[in-house]
Amino acid sequence: MKICVPKEIHTGEKRVAIVPESVAKFKKLGYEVLVEKDAGKESGFLDESYQAAGASIVEDVQQLYKNADILVKINVPTIHPKTNKNELEMLKEDAYWISLFFPLINKELVELAKKQKVNVISTDSIPRITKAQRMDVLSSQTNLAGYRAVILGAMYSRKVFPLMMTAAGTISPAKVVVLGAGVAGLQAIATAKRLGAVVEVSDVRREVKEQVQSLGAKYIEPPEVVEEEGGYAKEVTKEFLQKQQEILKKHLSNADIVITTAQVPGKRAPLLVTEDMIQSMQPGSVIIDMAASTGGNCALTEPDKIVEKYNVKIIGFTNLVSDLSLDASQLYSRNIQALIEYLTKESKLNINLEDEIVKGALITYKGEIIHQKTKELFS
């Protein structure tokens, strides 16, 4: 079987789905690996490195897609500028498409995959269970994004992070508030603490309190207990959000940097920071909204823009991890390698529809919608 790796075509994307390190592993499993010319250049992986690992370099993108038994990408399928066709339409029948897919918010792509009889494995839908940890794309990428958010905050803040004792007097440490203590939030906390900031953390799940405190941050108690589902907090009510916003307003008014990370799979990000709360913040404060790609946690966020409202900078970059493309590509590639190794039997993908990882991640198969939650969108 041929594993094909095209260049990412989403604006601003610098990552690549497979790096040379993984090519050698795929070759040992019996796969042939084809890589589009310059696919890894933006991440620091040159064609020569892929060839040295055993991959073939392909210049004709249409041929690459046409020959793919398994096509591996990072981003969701979109219209390819060289063909004016959706990427799913460029694949042969019964080919596998592996990438982030977000099926619950991309109903039209699910329908197209079904029509084209392309088998879609959605990397964002891989269940968060112990045996799938090495395949967890969302964790590997949001971990780096959490780090990057803090670095951005430090760049745009008018304050230094650590306490400084100088001949001219003492400089107090920056106050950082992190909303959400998932993978991205925990990395943001750890990074901000390493830089010397005082960190407070809000998360609706009380079970993360111990993790937050172990990193040296203060936990802001939520108004009530919220259960967890599949590794994420369940969606909360409007009444809960209002109570939480009242609690947060006081903490945000004293913050120098706010990092928001709260997202609900398949739904709009919860609104945590209202316009009124922004008005109460100190002049020169910075908000990094890591949920900008799904509507934003902040009322005034604009995707992929830096806006200044009420003397507060609001940064809504939707692909923070792309700026760390070398490390991000390596981690993503290892996630995909673990997934393909798990599914491989006798040098080809072996799809067992009863397997719990397959049940969680396989969206369409042989012209049918397999994924249960996605099926419900069409019922």
Question: Do 209 and 96 share a structural domain?
Answer: no
Residue 354: CATH number of its domain: 3.40.50.720
Amino acid 125: pLDDT: 95
Q: Has 136 been annotated as catalytic?
A: yes
Task: Kindly name the residue from 156, 219, 232, 342 that is annotated as catalytic.
Answer: 232
Question: Do 236 and 103 share a structural domain?
Answer: no
* 178 found inside a domain: yes
Distances (CA, A) of 244 to 228, 247, 279, 340, 355: 17, 5, 17, 42, 39
Amino acid 265: pLDDT: 78
Amino acid 241: pLDDT: 78
Amino acid 27: pLDDT: 96
Summarised one tens digit per residue, pLDDT across range 74-124 is 999 999 999 999 999 999 999 999 999 999 999 999 999 999 999 999 999
| Range in 6-20, 109-123, 192-206, 232-246 with the lowest mean pLDDT | 232-246
* 140 found inside a domain: no
Question: Do 228 and 94 share a structural domain?
Answer: no
- Residues 348-371: what's their mean pLDDT? 96
Amino acid 168: pLDDT: 96
**Contact predicate 236/226, CB 8 Å:** yes
Domain count, the chain: 2
- Residues 320-335: what's their mean pLDDT? 98
Q: Report the distance separating Cα 6 and Cα 35, nearest Å.
A: 6
Domain of 270 in residue numbering reads as: 157-318
Question: Do 280 and 174 share a structural domain?
Answer: yes
Q: Has 128 been annotated as catalytic?
A: yes
* 284 found inside a domain: yes
Cα angle vertex 237, ends 308, 225, to 5°?
105
Task: Kindly name the residue from 69, 128, 156, 310 that is annotated as catalytic.
Answer: 128
| Range in 189-203, 227-241, 276-290, 364-378 with the lowest mean pLDDT | 227-241
Residue 227 pLDDT exceeds 90: no
* 145 found inside a domain: no
Residue 232 pLDDT exceeds 60: no
Amino acid 229: pLDDT: 55
Look up the pTM and report it: 0.92
pLDDT > 90 in the chain, percent: 89
**Residue 234, Ramachandran bin (φ over 0: left; ψ between -120 and 50: alpha; else beta):** beta
Question: Do 124 and 179 share a structural domain?
Answer: no
Q: What is the rounded average pLDDT for all residues in the chain?
A: 94
Task: Kindly name the residue from 139, 187, 244, 333 that is annotated as catalytic.
Answer: 139
Task: Kindly name the residue from 15, 50, 99, 136 that is annotated as catalytic.
Answer: 136
Q: Has 139 been annotated as catalytic?
A: yes
Summarised one tens digit per residue, pLDDT across range 6-48 is 999 999 999 999 999 999 999 999 999 999 999 999 999 999 9
Task: Kindly name the residue from 133, 214, 279, 347 that is annotated as catalytic.
Answer: 133
- Residues 234-248: what's their mean pLDDT? 80
* 97 found inside a domain: yes
DSSP for 56-98, please give it: EEE--HHHHHHH-SEEE-SSPP-B-TTTSSBGGGGSPTT-EEE
Amino acid 166: pLDDT: 95
Question: Do 230 and 84 share a structural domain?
Answer: no
